[in-house]
Structure 1
Amino acid sequence: MDWDKLLFNTAVFAAGVFMLDYGADKFIDHTVIVGQRLGVSQTLIAVLTAGAEYEELAVVIAAVLQKQSPLALGNVMGSSISNVLGAFSLGLLLHPGPLVFDPSAKVYTALLFSITTAFSILVYFNLLNKVTGGVLVATFLVYMICTCYAIHKGVMEPPEASDSDSDSDSDNDTSDDEHPYLSPRPQGNIVQDESETSPLLTNEEAPTSRKRAPRSLFYHISQLVIGLLALTISGYLLSRSASAIADCFHLSGTLVGLTVVSFATTLPEKMIAIISGSRGHSGIVVASTAGSNIFLLTLCAGVIGLAELPTDNSDRVLLFEVFSTWVSSVMLFLAVFVSANRAVGAVFLVMYVAFLILEFTVYRR
C-alpha cells in the first residue's frame, strides 16, 4: 500500500470537509434572503443553485476522459441514491416540526420520478448510447429553460405578501431615518442636571438611534455564489481524495463510484439538508435533492451516453443497483406527496446504510 498517497488524500479529504461546512452555511443563509427579496420560491432558487451538481459533472467528465465509464455511471447512480436516502433523510430527522412542501417541490419531485424511471429502463436494457445520451442532455436543457422561466415569472409577479412586507420594511427604515438623534426635550432643571451629569445619548436611545442599513441584493447574491463555489470545490476535492483512498484498497470502479465517490460528492447535499432541515426550510431540503438528481440523471448520464465507451461485463451495474436507484425516487415521491416526518427520515437512513453494507459484502467486486 502507498502510505504517502493514502495520507496525502486523507489530508485533502479533511480540508474539503472544512470548506464544505463554510460553503453550506453561507449558501443557506443567503439563498433564503435572496428568495425573500425577490418574492421567489426558495425551491426554485435552490434548484438552479444547489441543484446544479457541478462537482459531479467534473467527476463524470474526468472518468469519461480516462475511459472509466463504470466509475462515472456508478457515481451517478450512487449519488442519486445517496441524495435521497442519505441527505434528504437527514433533513427530515432534523426538521423541528411537521414538513409542508410547496407546489414547486411537488412538481420537481414528480418530474424526478419520471426521469428516474426512464433512466432505469435505459441502464437495465443497456440502451445508454449516443442517441439516448443526446435525448437526456436535451431534456436537461428544456428543464433549465422551464425553471428559468418560472423564476422569471416569479420575479415579475411576486406574491402580494412580499409587496406588503417590503413596504412595511421600507416604512420602518424611513421612520428610523427621520430625526434619528432627536428625543423629547426635557423641561426645567432636569435639563441642567442631565446635561452636566449624563451622556448625550442614553443607553436606551443608543440601540435604536443607529440601525445598520440592510445589505444590497447584489451583496447577498454574491455571497450565495461564493457559498456555491465553496460547495463545488469542496465536493470535487472530496470526490478525488476519496477515489484515491479507495484505489489504495483495490476496489472496482463501479463499486467505488456507487459508494465511496458518491458518498463524498454528495456531502454538500447532506450538509445543506442538515442546516436547512434544522432551520425549518423544507423547500430547500426537497429542492437540493430533486434538483441534484435531475441534474445527475439527465446531463451527467447524457455525457456518459454520448461517450459510449465499451464496458467490461464483470464491472457492469447490477439489477439491485438499478432497482435501488428507482426505489429511492419512489420513496421521495411518497414522502413529498403523502407524508414526511422524522420516522420516515429514520427509515430512509436505515435503507441507505443497508445499501452500503450490501454493496461492500454481497455485491462486492
Structure 2
Amino acid sequence: MAYIFLLIGFVLLIKGADLFVDGSSNIATLLRISPVLIGLTIVAFGTSSPEATVSIIAALKGNAGVSLGNVIGSSIFNITLVVGIAAFIYPLKVESETTKKEIPFTLLASVVLLVLSSDMILQGFDNNALTRSDGLIFLLFLSIFIYYVFEVAMKNRQKADDRKIPDSVKWGKSILFAVLGLAGIILGGEMVVRNGTKIAYSLGMSETLVGLTIIAIGTSLPELVTSIAAALKKQSEIALGNIVGSNIFNILFVLGSASVISPLVVDGKVFIDLLVLIFLTVLLLIFSRTNYKIGKIEGMLLVFGYLIYIVYIILRN
C-alpha cells in the first residue's frame, strides 16, 4: 500500500503544482506584474513548491536526510535530466543576463550551502548541521535575489502595462486554482514523505538515498513537465529560466525554511553530492556561454551525466 500512496502523493504534488502555477500566474497577470517577474518568481516557486513541502514536512518529522537529499537531488536532476531533455527536443537559447547573473547566483547558493554545512572542518564541531542561523542566511540571500528580480521587473514595467488581459482570466477562478493547488501540494507532500520513508526502511535504503532518488525525481516532475512543454513550444528561455529559478528557490527558500523550522543534521555522504552539484552548475554555465545556447550534444552529455550519477549513488548505498 505504501507504493500506491507514494504514487498518489506524486500525482497530487504534480497536479497541485500545475494548478498553483496557473492560478498564481493568472493573478500576477490580473495585477499587471511583469512577465519577467512571473517567470523568475511565481513559476519557479510554483514548480519548487513540491520540494518545499516535502522538505519542510520532513524537517518537522526529524528526517533531515530526506530534506537535504531532496533539495540536492532535485537540483542535480534539474540541471542534468531536465535541461538535457529540453535541449535535445529544441536547442535552448540563453539570455546574456542568465549567464552573467542568474546561473552565477545559483552557483553562489550551492557554494554557500557547502560552506554552511562544513561545521566539522571549518569550526571543529562534533557534527555538521544547518542551524537556524544558517537558515536565516539562506533567506537573506533569497531576499537579495528577489530584490534583483524586482529591479528587472521595473525595467520591463512598460511591457507589462501594455499587455491585454485575456477574457478567460478571472479573479475567482485564479484564486480557486491557487488554493486547490496549494492544498494538493501540502497533502501530496505529506504522503510522499511518509510513504517514501517507509519504503526506504523496508528496502534497507538510507533517508539520504531515498531523498536523492525517489523523492527528488518525484518532486522535480513539475520542472520536467514545464520545461519539456516550453521546449516543444520553442519557448526555450522559459525552459532554462524555470530551472535556474527553481534551483535558487530549492537551496535558498526550501533549505532556509526547513532549517529555520528545525536544524538539519548533515550526512557526510552529502558533501560528494554537493560537489557534484557545484561541478554541474559550472558546466551549465560553460555550455550556456557557448554561442549563448545549449544544443542537442550538450543535452545528451547532461542526460548521460545524470545516469552515471544515479548508478554511483545506488552503488554507494
Q: Same fold (TM over 0.5)?
A: yes
Instruction: Give the fraction of aligned pairs with identical amino acids, expressed as a percent.
Output: 21
1:326 corresponds in structure 2 to 278
TM-score (norm 2): 0.76
Q: 1:264-303 CA deviation, whole Å, 9 max, x = no partner? A: 2222222222222222333432333223222232243344
Letter in 2 for 1:120: L
SS at match of 1:359: helix
Given that residues 141 and 252 in structure 2 are in contact (C-alpha distance below 8 angstroms), is that contact kept between their aligned partners in structure 1? no
2:133 corresponds in structure 1 to 134
User: Which structure would you say has the larger Rg?
Assistant: 1
Letter in 2 for 1:80: S
2:107 corresponds in structure 1 to 113
Cα gap change, 1:273/1:9 in structure 2, threshold over 3 Å: closer, same or farther? farther
2:309 corresponds in structure 1 to 355
Is 2:297 the counterpart of 1:304?
A: no
SS at match of 1:159: helix
Given that residues 44 and 151 in structure 1 are in contact (C-alpha distance below 8 angstroms), is that contact kept between their aligned partners in structure 2? no
Cα gap change, 1:63/1:353 in structure 2, threshold over 3 Å: closer, same or farther? same
SS at match of 2:71: helix
1:58 corresponds in structure 2 to 53
Given that residues 88 and 295 in structure 2 are in contact (C-alpha distance below 8 angstroms), is that contact kept between their aligned partners in structure 1? yes
Q: CA deviation at 1:351?
A: 0.8
Cα gap change, 1:165/1:51 in structure 2, threshold over 3 Å: closer, same or farther? closer
1:47 corresponds in structure 2 to 41
Cα gap change, 1:250/1:261 in structure 2, threshold over 3 Å: closer, same or farther? same
1:186 corresponds in structure 2 to none
The 1-side partners of 2:285 and 2:13 are apart by 28
Which residues of structure 1 form unaligned runs of 5+? 1-7, 170-211
1:273 corresponds in structure 2 to 227
Given that residues 73 and 257 in structure 1 are in contact (C-alpha distance below 8 angstroms), is that contact kept between their aligned partners in structure 2? yes
Given that residues 93 and 341 in structure 1 are in contact (C-alpha distance below 8 angstroms), is that contact kept between their aligned partners in structure 2? yes
Q: 1:101-121 CA deviation, whole Å, 9 max, x = no partner? A: 373685322211111112123
Is 2:11 the counterpart of 1:12?
A: no
Cα gap change, 1:135/1:344 in structure 2, threshold over 3 Å: closer, same or farther? same
Letter in 2 for 1:290: V
Q: How many residues align?
A: 306
Q: Which of 61, 65, 77 in structure 2 is aligned with 1:70? A: 65
Cα gap change, 1:304/1:290 in structure 2, threshold over 3 Å: closer, same or farther? same
TM-score (norm 1): 0.68
Letter in 2 for 1:13: L
Given that residues 230 and 238 in structure 2 are in contact (C-alpha distance below 8 angstroms), is that contact kept between their aligned partners in structure 1? yes
**Which moved further from structure 2: 145-154 or 269-278?**
145-154
Given that residues 59 and 239 in structure 1 are in contact (C-alpha distance below 8 angstroms), is that contact kept between their aligned partners in structure 2? yes
Is 2:97 the counterpart of 1:103?
A: yes
The 1-side partners of 2:114 and 2:37 are apart by 26
The 2-side partners of 1:337 and 1:240 are apart by 42
Q: CA deviation at 1:159?
A: 3.3
**Which moved further from structure 2: 44-53 or 273-282?**
44-53
Is 2:72 the counterpart of 1:81?
A: no
1:154 corresponds in structure 2 to 153
Q: Which of 262, 265, 269 in structure 2 is aligned with 1:317? A: 269
Which residues of structure 2 form unaligned runs of 5+? 123-127
RMSD between superposed Cα atoms in Å: 3.7
Q: For residues 131-280 of structure 1, what are the structure 2 equivalents within 5 Å?
A: 133-141=132-140, 143-144=142-143, 147=146, 150-151=149-150, 154=153, 158-160=157-159, 166=164, 213-216=167-170, 219-220=173-174, 222-223=176-177, 226-227=180-181, 230=184, 233-234=187-188, 236-280=190-234
Q: Which of 270, 287, 300 in structure 2 is aligned with 1:346? A: 300
Q: 1:35-88 CA deviation, whole Å, 9 max, x = no partner? A: 766361346445234325343333333333443323332222222212211323
